[in-house]
Amino acid sequence: MVFLVGIQVLYAQQLPTSSQYLFNPYSLTPSLAGYTGYSEVFLNYRNDWTGIEGSPRTFSANGFGNVYQKKLWIGGEIMGDKTDILSLFKANLSLTYKLQVEQNQFLYFGVWTTFFQASANMANGIGVDPNDPIIQNGSKLNSSAFNAGAGIVYNWNNLTIGFSMPSMFGLNDEYELNSSFKYKVQRQYQFHVSNLFELSDTWQLQAIGLVQKTANQPVNIEISAMAIYMGRFWGGMLYRNSGALAINIGAHIYNGFVFNYSYEMGLGNINKGSGGSHEITIGYRFKFTNNAYFGAREDITGRKKGRRSGTLNYPAVKDFNYNKN
């Protein structure tokens, strides 16, 4: 209690980390809504630091759909994060425009607005007696704020390069839980590059590099590689420079349903005793009937592109009998 009362500004990770953007691009940046040409929805659960009591637990859901000729997409996300006495709720609404500039080249322009609500309930702290008279008055503190973001993504065949600002306003945009406890929404920058390599008729390799910078926090760098079999089954690894290594496996189950699981382990310092992190995502791609999930896309005209699903249909051939006479 002395520590909480005496603190002036709390610096911590602004939002929970996730590795599910490996197959859910919208969770990386709303600018990628409509990247595949399909409407999609995802449900996600993450449990961080399972070896520590009161560790973070995060629930989230995101999705997007087409509103105009495969060019204009609307999306949204809700997220709830609980860590001991601290809780954070986030909701955002996005609009993305997909522009074809050349053959197989596209630009994605995304803008979004985000609502944050933070609360600190000291009565729920580990080892805290809720009947303690010290915390009877004002034991739960709440506040909220709005922010906005924008991003642009360039796509050429299987290469994607993007830049975004998930939180554009941060220097003066903060919400205070009281005069001695502040939660700031800091300005954030994000750059990513990815490519899907076609190794053979049955194997692909997806590589992603991600750089994130938030005010008052170190630069976060993530590198991942994922092997994909028949466009339907995948597995790979992700490295984060904060001292974490994630193992990722997933599959396209049936008719647009996908499942993905990640296990993240610490590599040093406090991470080694954290107990690791588990993350599960279930997704659905509407009106998707192919077997190959990765590499399957539709262009803005609605024509399907990408790898074959494994079933080939050939045109019928008629035999004609000719009379020589």
pLDDT digits (tens, 9 = 90+) for 61-83: 999 999 998 899 999 999 999 88
148-to-74, 84, 110, 167 alpha-carbon distances in Å: 15, 28, 11, 6
pLDDT at position 178? 45
pLDDT tens sequence across 251-261: 999 889 999 99
Rounded to an integer, the average pLDDT of 220-233 is 95
Higher pLDDT, 54 or 166: 166
Q: Where are the beta strands (DSSP E) in the chain?
A: 40-47, 57-68, 72-83, 86-102, 105-121, 140-156, 159-167, 174-178, 181-184, 188-198, 203-214, 220-229, 233-240, 244-254, 257-266, 277-285, 297-298, 304-305
Chain centre distance of CA 35: 14
More confident residue, 250 or 126: 250
What pLDDT is recorded for position 93? 97
Read off the pLDDT band of 314 (50, 70, 90): very low
More confident residue, 118 or 318: 118
**pLDDT band at 38; cut points 50, 70, 90:** very high
Collect all residues with Cβ–Cβ distance below 8 Å to 149 and sequence separation of at least 6. 30, 92, 110, 111, 112, 113, 114, 164, 165, 166, 167, 168
Whether the predicted pLDDT of 12 surpasses 50: no
Confidence of residue 145 (pLDDT cuts 50, 70, 90): confident
Does the pLDDT at position 31 exceed 90? Answer: yes
Tell which wins on pLDDT, 123 or 98.
98
Is there a contact between 88 and 71 (Cβ–Cβ < 8 Å)?
no
Q: How high is the pLDDT of residue 244?
A: 87
d(CA 287, CA 290): 9
Closest CA to 38 of 323, 269, 302, 306: 302
The band of 44, judged by pLDDT with boundaries at 50, 70 and 90, is very high
The reported pLDDT for the residue numbered 115 is 93
- Mean residue pLDDT across the chain: 81
Question: Would you list the DSSP string of 244-302?
Answer: EEEEEEEEEEETTEEEEEEEEEE-SGGGGGS--EEEEEEEEETT---S--TT-EE-TTS
The pLDDT score that the predictor gives to residue 8 is 40
Q: Stretch 23-30: mean pLDDT, rounded?
A: 91
Residues 6+ apart with CB under 8 A from 206: 22, 194, 195, 196, 197, 224, 225, 226, 228, 234, 236, 294
What amino acid is encoded at 249 in this protein? I
Instruction: Give the tens place of pLDDT for each residue, 259-291.
Output: 999 999 887 666 566 678 899 999 999 999 888
Distance of CA 89 to the CA centre of its chain: 16
Given a cut of 60, whether residue 134 has pLDDT beyond it is: no
Say yes or no to pLDDT of 113 above 90: yes
Residue 157 three-state SS: coil
| pLDDT for res 3 | 43
Higher pLDDT, 78 or 133: 78
Range of 113-127, 131-145, 197-211 with top mean pLDDT = 197-211
Write down the pLDDT at residue 272: 61
pLDDT at 304 over 80: no
Counting other chains too, the contacts that 81-84 makes at CB distance below 8 Å and 24 or more residues apart are: 81/15, 81/16, 81/56, 81/57, 82/56, 82/57, 82/58, 83/54, 83/55, 83/56, 83/57, 84/54, 84/124, 84/125, 84/126
pLDDT value at 308 more than 50: no
